[in-house]
Structure 1
Amino acid sequence: MIEHRRIAHSLVWSTVALGALALTGCATTDKGGSSNLPTPDAYAELRDARGADRGRVDIFRDSSGLRLEVVARGFGPGTYGMHVHAVGQCAAPDFSSAGPHWNPTGAQHGRDNPMGAHHGDLPNLVVESGMIGRATLHMVGSRLTGEGGLLDADGAAFVIHAGPDDMRTDPAGNSGGRVACGVIATPAG
């Protein structure tokens, strides 16, 4: 009987160890470490005014420009404006150090603007429940480096606003205060 308990005990711990090993093999890393996911060309770690983690934006070069994968945490249900801002700074409490929207072509604001939107204009983030919002965004014609690129001498930042962008009002879309900000950086490596 004691031998059966030892075998059963060994089987349970072997199963737990194998399960943990399997989960470790499926794990990913947010910072481009060892995972099966592609390493982003750039990223922004989003923080609120208190410095709390509010998510991450991974930026990838693609054939049309840039693709952004946004995961925002800690937001209540609602709609939030998102923009790329022209300066790579995120000084709390209001993140005004991030400057105006990134606008390398001098265009007007608003995805619904008949004159066309500038490069820093992005669709709204919709958070339905669970305090997490996810979005895949395409910045057609935008580039990360080089003339007119995001990562120029003063960098750039990704900002989430307190309310929705109305997609028309120039220069900022009437989207309210800046509630989360992340400096856009390239992965070490």
Structure 2
Amino acid sequence: MKTINYFLFIGAVSMAIACGPGTNDSGENATNRTEVKENQQETIQSETKMADKSANAVLSAANGSEVSGMATFTQTAEGKVKLVLSVNNLTPGTHAVHLHENGDCSAEDASSAGGHWNPTEDAHGKRGENDFHAGDIDNLTVGEDGIGSLVMVVDGWSIGDGQDSDILNKAVIIHADADDFTSQPSGAAGSRVACGVIQEKV
């Protein structure tokens, strides 16, 4: 019996040494995995929320024109903003499109919209080439039927974040003439023939 007890004692000691006090990190690993999963979910939710942000501007006539139209803005998951612009009753040819600093189209000539949106105080130019205003967009080509459309994905804009890049409460302005992308301060684009205030979709 003593011999059996002795071997049982030795076995128990051996198991204790083999197992030892050790450190069980299974709980820590589980916690880490949970934190990683939560962070991933937060990132996905944040990107989804950002991508869901959208705004539009209903364009109305200015300076006696008969222009109407709509500009829609959608935040992409990459942090850019997609602009889709469509207009009607605009004279055939090429017309400058800009964002102006004030979301105010109350003046008959749309002068209440102020100058180009330019928080960085850069020179006017063509977007993506040298200096340009945050509100510089492009020229819109209109057919003989008076209908025109423009689609752009713009880096450097945001929707509703309150930063200098935020396009909300700015005005979309369509001009009578084309932007030459050179003349200061607004590309010699002529009078304002349409105006719309950018407002977030709810």
Q: TM-score, normalised by structure 2?
A: 0.67
Identity across matched positions, percent: 36
Instruction: Specify every segment of 5 or more residues in structure 1 that has no aligned partner in the other structure, as ranges.
Output: 1-37
Q: 2:163 aligns with which of 147, 166, 174?
A: 147
Q: Would the aligned equivalents of 2:97 and 2:138 in 1 still touch at CA under 8 Å?
A: yes
The equivalent residue for 1:131 is 146
Q: Could you tell which deviates more after superposition, 157-166 or 112-121?
A: 112-121
Query: How far did 1:92 drift?
Result: 3.1
Amino acid at match of 1:179: V
The within-5 A match list for 1:48-67 is 48-49=61-62, 54-62=68-76, 63-67=78-82
Q: Distance in 2 between matches of 1:92 and 1:113?
A: 31
Q: 1:39 to 1:131 in 2, by over 3 A?
A: farther
Equivalenced residue count is 148
CA distance 1:175–1:51, change in 2 (3 Å): closer
**SS of aligned partner of 2:68:** strand
The answer as to whether partners of 2:127 and 2:138 remain within 8 angstroms in 1 is no
- Structure 2 SS opposite 1:70: strand
Q: Could you say which structure has the larger radius of gyration? A: 2
| Structure 2, unpaired ranges of 5+ | 1-50
Instruction: List aligned pairs for 1:39-50, cutoff 5 A.
Output: 41-49=54-62
Aligned counterpart, 1:17: none
Q: Classify 1:52/1:185 alpha carbon distance in 2 versus 1 (closer, same or farther; 3 Å).
A: farther
Secondary structure of the equivalent of 1:89?
coil
**Of 160, 178, 182, the match for 1:164:** 178
The answer as to 2:130 corresponding to 1:110 is: no
Q: TM-score, normalised by structure 1?
A: 0.71
After superposition, the Cα gap between the structure-2 partners of 1:53 and 1:165, relative to the gap in structure 1 and judged at 3 Å, is closer
1:113 Cα deviation after fit = 9.0
Query: C-alpha distance in 2, partners of 1:163/1:53?
Result: 14
Matches of 2:67 and 2:53 in 1, distance apart?
A: 19
Asked if structure 2 preserves the Cα contact closer than 8 Å seen for 1:113 and 1:167, the reply is no
CA RMSD, Structure 1 to Structure 2 (Å): 2.2
- Cα 1:129–1:40 shift into 2, 3 Å: farther
